[in-house]
Every structure is written in C-alpha cells, then in structure tokens.
Amino acid sequence: MSEEIDRWIRYMKEHPRTWKKIHTEFINAQFMKQRDFVQRLLKEPKGKERVIAAYGIKNVKGYEKLLM
C-alpha cells in the first residue's frame, strides 16, 4: 500500500496542474459505481431490504430517495 501512495505523491509533484482532474474523475467513478450497484441491488428480490441491511439504515424515511 505504501508503494502506491508514494507513487501517487510523486505523480502529484511531477504533474501539479493535471493530477486534480485525474483524481476527480477517479472519485466520481467510485460514486457512480456505488450508485449503479445500489440500483442493480434494488431490482433484485428483496433488494430494498438488502440495501437497508448493507448500509445499516435505521431511518428508512430519511433514505426514501435512495431506496426508490
């Protein structure tokens, strides 16, 4: 793990103007993958219950938009 961090730090120092765009794209892709996963899971039998269990949701009314 430390090697990857060292490589990323080195890349950031060598590319001070371009690393932020790459980093933002990576982070956004992670959010999109999570959203797509939840949507696919909701289509499965008992998907809503599985999402609630996976995320430990206690206030279901507070997550109505997620669970649609």
Cα 6 from Cα 62, distance rounded (Å) = 40
Per-residue pLDDT of 26-39, as tens digits, reads: 999 999 999 999 99
Instruction: With beta carbons less than 8 A apart as the criterion, state whether 51 and 41 touch.
Output: yes
Q: Tokens at residue 61, please?
A: 């009314």
Can you state the angle between helices 19-43 and 47-55, rounded to 10 degrees? 130
Per-residue pLDDT of 38-57, as tens digits, reads: 999 999 999 988 988 988 98
Q: Give Cα 21 to chain centroid, integer Å.
A: 17
